[in-house]
Structure 1
Amino acid sequence: MASALDTLCGQAFGARQYHLLGVYKQRAMLVLALACVPIALVWTNTTRILLFLGQDPAIAAEAGAYARWLIPSLVPYVPLTCHIRFLQTQSIVVPVMASSAVTSLSHVLVCWALVHKAGMGSKGAALARAVSYCTNLSILSMYTRLSGACKRTWKGFSMEAFKELRQFAELAFPSAMMVCLEWWSFELLVLLSGLLPNPKLETSVLSICFNTGALMFMVPSGLCTAISTRVSNELGAGRPQAAKLATRLVVCLALLEGSVISVTMILLRRFWGYVYSNEEEVVAYIARMIPVLAMSFFMDGIHTSLAGVLTGCGEQKIGARVNLVAFYLAGIPLAVLLAFALHFNGMVCTYKSYYSIH
């Protein structure tokens, strides 16, 4: 939902309506805080939901405990994600990168202390996210208020933020759907894998594949953020031709980075599983899945970059409709067919991803 700020703040900055960026950021915090209520309810009842869906009781219990301990992370994450969008749409990216780097380094120590030293296991891992979000938020908040770079765009808290909440939500909802319809389809595949023979192996391997995808996704995600900022700034300034040129450039960059990373993944396929597990069965399974996952990633790089163009234009509804058709009318039915009728089992994740995105 916060990606609505990419459109609103980006275009306002391009149009030199600088004071609106601070107003939009506060308005987003209010809307996103309300959206956290149903999320917290779902996380509270995760165990019951997974058992109702026929998942393994041990997996459901562990996932439910992890989800409940994630709830505190919502408190700092709402203002954090709004601060990040607020700064990125002004092309203030180095402080965001530095803050993330400091947070990532400290996160390792926090995870070790809570997971191993305190003996909290996965609960500690969930709580560590809240601690790290607070660290990142503190750094960015101090930068926003003390740095001269934000003097024009941050004028302090304003009652104007309480106005037009509905209009903001009307843009935020399709923004969320454009992203979530894709990611929820992957989570649905994990749930489906829990219904396959040997569910612990299948869910483990699929989770590793999706974590790999999330790691590799950070590169096209950067392109997505850059192009949404550039397009929204240029459109706000009344320069559509410059926005078109930026779109052509980002597609070329997506093709280049997709080729490099896909080839690298294929070359390392026999070793990649050892990053996550020392079980030979898991490592061998992942090695078989990596080549098709690499093809999926190549297409997803282009898909993500074009999604950034739509965000910059404020046309998130188009992206949401495309993802609905691609993933739920094509991808998920194909996943069920391959996994349960043709017995591809976990291999379905990569075939489904490639087919849907393509």
Structure 2
Amino acid sequence: MSSSKSPETVALLRKGSHGNEGAKGRWWSTRRVLDLEEAKHQVLLSLPMIICNVSYYSITLVSVMFAGHLGELELAGATLANSWAGVTGFAFMIGLSGALETLCGQDFGAKLYRKLGLHLQASCIISCFFSIIISILWIYAEPIFIWLHQDPRISKTAAIYLRNLIPGLFAHGFLQNILRFLQAQSIVMPLVWFSILPMGTHFGIVYGLVNWTGIGLKGASMAASISLWILFVSLAMYIACSKQLKHTWEGLSSESFRHILTFLKVALPSAAMHCLEDWAFELLVLLAGLMPNSNISTSLIAMCVNTETIAFMFTCGLSAAASTRVANELGGGNPEKAKTAMAMALKLSTILTLAVGLTLAFGHNVWATFFTDSSLVVHQFASFVPLLVVSITFDSFQGILSAVTRGCGWQHLAVWVNLGTYYFIGIPIACHLGFVLQLYDKGLWIGIICGLFCQGIALLSIILFRPWPKIDLSVKGGEKTRVFV
């Protein structure tokens, strides 16, 4: 992080936005890519974020598992409800909170500490507003499922599950905001402790509600809501009581309403950016259901999507570190250091992808048995592994670049990239290969690989050829303000 500036207004030249001329163009140099100090910083930041992501994902997953033990109908309903909740609610909340990666990250680097708390409050207000809208959608889920030609009994079961998950939607939105708020300050260990402990108690809560109270399916989704609220309340209490956060959290303030418009300008593109990518993978599962041998095709594509999602959780931790480091350095007026941080994140993602690829190459049969007992599906999954390794590699690459765009505040550009590469390149190619050329499930996955590849190239082009913002501090009227050059 940069040292504090002089209180006098600094005259800044346009060439300053690129750093020293001698350093220009050398951000990918060997010395910088192998910067052990930067690597250590990112690893220590990313590992706790991986644990948090897995814990949050596991809460809803464990509830679905318990619901599945009640019967096939309950399993189908809970799975449909959880998928719908992820697509329409949880993914949107994660996307909205991505605005805090930009705003809080750059404010922290610029030492505008008070603004972090104001942006957190503005983010929670917006999350609450959109949670209300999404809740109405969930309340009327049953007729929507029937309109989408789902089985009426499964639709009714899924609607019951969703209605009891509505309180968890609000808590999930608040949780994501707190996570980004602490992440921007590189305060991540409290996130680990406050995610592991509720995750442990969740097993007891869901078991008690499902098996002891007699409410069955409702208890599974109620348990997820309760555990998410426990997570949120515990983290909120930590923020309110921690002396470490006294400069960034000064309590509730009506001033936060003035930041809502600023937040929305970044949050809505961030949400769209995240959802467009998420929906593309869900669309693949729906397309697989239209194949001639739909049972096998749907199982294979669903297994690949789940494997990709789990692998991406590790990338998510690294991308969180990348966006934090980039935003902090840009806030501190150090675009060259921000580029060095990006280079290191890409290097670490390469090592991570290699590890995941080797694990899949040698353990794919064991992994497949976690999803199915069908020897035919296990055998066909083995033929998918090379394609899956390629897609995970491209997904990891674009995940880091997407994080950099969030750190730079370029979500509005990334939205168009995701829209174009997935829905005008990836999905059309998938349909053509899968249905017209009759490559079926493999054709669908090759199409999404094309989309991921084009997305990575487009994001890399933006990052390489667009001038990176440099933020400095000046003092006017006794208040610190930002100067973009």
Q: TM-score, normalised by structure 2?
A: 0.69
Report how many aligned residue pairs link the two structures: 358
Of 348-357 and 237-246, deviating more is 348-357
| Aligned residue runs from structure 1 range 216-235, under 5 A | 216-235=311-330
- Quick check: 2:164–2:225 contact (8 Å CA) kept in 1? no
- 1:261-305 CA distances to partner (integer Å, 9 max, x unpaired)? 122112211111222333434433433333312210111111000
| Aligned residue runs from structure 1 range 152-231, under 5 A | 152-197=247-292, 199-231=294-326
Compared CA separation, residues 125 and 261, structure 1 to 2 (3 A): farther
- Quick check: 1:55–1:195 contact (8 Å CA) kept in 2? no
Within the alignment, does 1:253 sit opposite 2:253 as a pair? no
State the Cα distance separating 1:236 from its structure 2 match.
0.8
State the Cα distance separating 1:169 from its structure 2 match.
0.9
Of 46-55 and 133-142, deviating more is 46-55
Provide the residue aligned with 2:5 in structure 1.
Answer: none
| Aligned residue runs from structure 1 range 310-349, under 5 A | 310-349=405-444
Compared CA separation, residues 291 and 55, structure 1 to 2 (3 A): farther
Distance in 2 separating the partners of 1:146 and 1:202 = 52
For the residue of structure 1 that corresponds to 2:97, the secondary structure is coil
Distance in 1 separating the partners of 2:304 and 2:254 = 46
State the Cα distance separating 1:211 from its structure 2 match.
2.2
Superposed CA RMSD in Å reads 2.3
| Aligned residue runs from structure 1 range 56-135, under 5 A | 56-57=151-152, 60-115=155-210, 123-135=218-230
- Quick check: 2:315–2:399 contact (8 Å CA) kept in 1? yes
Provide the residue aligned with 2:103 in structure 1.
Answer: 8
Distance in 2 separating the partners of 1:157 and 1:218 = 33
Within the alignment, does 1:267 sit opposite 2:267 as a pair? no
State the Cα distance separating 1:78 from its structure 2 match.
2.0
Of 300-309 and 126-135, deviating more is 126-135
Of 177-186 and 31-40, deviating more is 31-40
Distance in 1 separating the partners of 2:303 and 2:209 = 22
| Aligned residue runs from structure 1 range 14-29, under 5 A | 14-29=109-124
Distance in 1 separating the partners of 2:110 and 2:271 = 25
Compared CA separation, residues 213 and 65, structure 1 to 2 (3 A): farther
- Quick check: 1:67–1:126 contact (8 Å CA) kept in 2? yes
Distance in 1 separating the partners of 2:354 and 2:212 = 42
State the Cα distance separating 1:191 from its structure 2 match.
2.3
Of 72-81 and 84-93, deviating more is 72-81
Provide the residue aligned with 1:142 in structure 2.
Answer: 237
State the Cα distance separating 1:203 from its structure 2 match.
3.8
Compared CA separation, residues 198 and 131, structure 1 to 2 (3 A): farther
State the Cα distance separating 1:146 from its structure 2 match.
1.8
Distance in 1 separating the partners of 2:446 and 2:218 = 33
Amino acid in the other structure paired with 1:219? F
Amino acid in the other structure paired with 2:372? S
Of 324-333 and 48-57, deviating more is 48-57
Within the alignment, does 1:305 sit opposite 2:407 as a pair? no
Distance in 2 separating the partners of 1:205 and 1:138 = 39
State the Cα distance separating 1:63 from its structure 2 match.
4.2
Provide the residue aligned with 1:278 in structure 2.
Answer: 373
Taking only the aligned residue pairs, the percentage that are identical comes to 37
Distance in 1 separating the partners of 2:213 and 2:297 = 30
State the Cα distance separating 1:202 from its structure 2 match.
4.1
Of 11-20 and 113-122, deviating more is 113-122
State the Cα distance separating 1:32 from its structure 2 match.
1.3
Of 334-343 and 242-251, deviating more is 334-343
- 1:192-240 CA distances to partner (integer Å, 9 max, x unpaired)? 2333345455444433332222211111101111011111111111111
Amino acid in the other structure paired with 1:322? V
- Quick check: 1:55–1:191 contact (8 Å CA) kept in 2? no
Provide the residue aligned with 1:239 in structure 2.
Answer: 334
Distance in 1 separating the partners of 2:396 and 2:157 = 33
State the Cα distance separating 1:353 from its structure 2 match.
2.6
- Quick check: 1:339–1:347 contact (8 Å CA) kept in 2? yes
- Quick check: 1:223–1:305 contact (8 Å CA) kept in 2? yes
| 5+ long unaligned stretches in structure 1 | none
Distance in 2 separating the partners of 1:263 and 1:44 = 44
Q: TM-score, normalised by structure 1?
A: 0.92
Of 241-250 and 283-292, deviating more is 283-292
Distance in 1 separating the partners of 2:142 and 2:357 = 36
